[in-house]
Structure 1
C-alpha cells in the first residue's frame, strides 16, 4: 500500500502493484518490482560486475564518503553512487564469469586539485613508507591534506587514513599493526584535499605490494599443467632410455611405438597448455 502525503494527486510513497515509490535526496523516484524472467548472459555479466565492484568498494566506505563528498553535493547521487559508477565502468577487466578488478584503474576521487609527483611506496617494519615531491606548480597548497587508502583484497578489508599528513611533508608513515596486512596483497591509493575542504585531487594508484594471488581458474590451470608435466617427465626418462636401445637395434616393438606416441603427445600438449610457470 502506498501513502499520498500531499493529497490524492501528490507523489505516493510505498508500493502500488509492481511499482515502488520513494524520495531520494528530495527527488521523487519510482521503480518496477516485477518478477524476473530468464537471466541472459549480459544480465549475468552485469550482476558479476556489480558484485565485484561492491566487494572492492565496501571496505573503502569511509574513504569514499570523504573523497566523493564534494562531487556529490547538489546532486541526487551520494558518494557511494559516484564511486560505483566510475569503477564499474573503468576498473574492471575480463569477461563473464571471470570479471575482476584492474587495480591500476580504480577511481577513489575526482577533482581539480593538483596531484603530487614522484610518488612511491615501500614496506617498513610495521607499516608503509610513502614519499612524494612536495613542490607545487598549479593550484595546490603546502597545507593540503593527504588521504591514503590501502586495500587488502584477500581479506576484503581496507585501511583508510583521512588525515595522514600534509603535502609539504613530502613523506609519511602508514602504520599497519596486523601481521596479515604486511604479508598479503596490498593496493595503495592516495589523494590530496585542500585545507579549506573546497577542492580535492584525482586519486592516484601508488602501487601494489606483495603481488597478486592466483585466481581459482589460474590455480586450476597450474595444477593441470603440473600433472601433465609430471607424467611427461616420467615418460621422457623411459623414452630416452629405450630410444637408445632402439637405435642400437635392440628393440622395435609395438610397446615402444606407443611410448613414443605418448611422449610426442605430452610434449606438444605442454607447449600449448595454460598454467606454465614463467
Structure 2
C-alpha cells in the first residue's frame, strides 16, 4: 500500500496499484512496476550475458588499480564501468558457452604517460624480479613517476597488488611470491602514475611466470 506523506501533490511512498513511489536524494520518484519478460532470451543475449559476467567477475579483483587507472578526469563516469566496457571488447575469447579470458590483453589502466621501457621479468628465490630500462625524461616520462604492479594467479583466483611501489628511476622492483601460489601460473602486469596522481600510463602485460 502506498502512503501519502504531504498530500496528493507531493508523491507517495510504497506500492499503489501499478505504481511504486520512493524517495531518491530527497525527491519523490514514481515508477511503474517492472514486468517479467515473456520472451525467452536469444542466443546472442545469453552469450552477451555470459561474457559480461565473466569480465565483471575478473575485474572486481582489481578495483584498487582500476580506481586509479580508469579514473574519469571529469569525474562523470564510474571507473569500474569504464574498465568493464573497455575490457569486454578485448579479453573474452572462445565460443559459446565456453568463454575464457585472454590475460595478455587485460588492461587496468589507460592514459597518456609513457609505459616502462623494455620491461622484463625473471623468477628469483620466492620472488618475481621486474626490471625496465632507463629512458629520456619528457613531459610524459618523469623519473618520479610511480610504478604499480599486479601478480594475478588464476588457479587460486587471488592477486598481489602493489601501488606506487617504486619510482621510474629505480629501474626495478621485487615482489615476493605468496607461499600458496607455489606450483601455479602467475600473470604479471605493471603501470605508471605521475607523482601527483593525476596522469597514468597504459598498463603493460609483463608475461607469465
Structure 2 CA distance, aligned partners of 1:125 and 1:202? 29
Structure 2 CA distance, aligned partners of 1:183 and 1:3? 63
Superposition map of 1:48-87 within 5 A: 48-69=50-71, 71=72, 73-75=74-76, 77-87=77-87
Residue aligning to 1:206: 206
In the superposition, relative to structure 1, how do residues 104 and 2 fare at CA in structure 2: closer, same or farther (>3 Å)? farther
The answer to whether the 8 A contact 2:13-2:20 is kept is no
Larger Rg: 1
Q: Quote the offset at 1:144 in angstroms.
A: 0.4
- Give structure 1 stretches of 5+ with no counterpart: 210-278
Residue aligning to 1:242: none
**Which structure is richer in relative contact order (CA contacts within 8 A, separation 6 or more)?**
2
Residue aligning to 1:38: 40
Structure 2 CA distance, aligned partners of 1:97 and 1:163? 39
Q: TM-score, normalised by structure 1?
A: 0.63
Structure 2 CA distance, aligned partners of 1:208 and 1:20? 53
Q: TM-score, normalised by structure 2?
A: 0.81
Q: Which has the higher helix share?
A: 1
Root-mean-square deviation (Å)? 3.2
1:163 counterpart = 2:197:
no
The answer to whether the 8 A contact 1:19-1:33 is kept is no
In the superposition, relative to structure 1, how do residues 41 and 129 fare at CA in structure 2: closer, same or farther (>3 Å)? same
The residue matched to 1:195 in structure 2 has which SS? coil
1:132 counterpart = 2:132:
yes
Residue aligning to 2:114: 114
Total equivalences in the alignment? 200
- Deviating above 4 A after TM superposition, structure 1's stretches of 4 or more consecutive aligned residues are 1-5, 7-10, 12-24
The answer to whether the 8 A contact 1:147-1:191 is kept is yes
The residue matched to 1:55 in structure 2 has which SS? helix
The answer to whether the 8 A contact 2:65-2:109 is kept is no
Q: Which moved more, 1:15-24 or 1:115-124?
A: 15-24
Q: Quote the offset at 1:21 in angstroms.
A: 8.0
Q: Quote the offset at 1:134 in angstroms.
A: 2.8
Residue aligning to 1:89: 89
CA deviations on 1:164-215 (whole Å, 9 max, x unpaired) are 2110011110122x22324212111111000011110011111112xxxxxx
Structure 1 CA distance, aligned partners of 2:74 and 2:5? 28
- Give structure 2 stretches of 5+ with no counterpart: none
In the superposition, relative to structure 1, how do residues 134 and 42 fare at CA in structure 2: closer, same or farther (>3 Å)? same
Q: Quote the offset at 1:3 in angstroms.
A: 9.4
Q: Which has the higher strand share?
A: 2
Q: Quote the offset at 1:4 in angstroms.
A: 9.9
CA deviations on 1:134-183 (whole Å, 9 max, x unpaired) are 3135421101000111111112221110022110011110122x223242
Structure 1 CA distance, aligned partners of 2:114 and 2:63? 24
CA deviations on 1:46-76 (whole Å, 9 max, x unpaired) are 111012102211211222122222x26421x
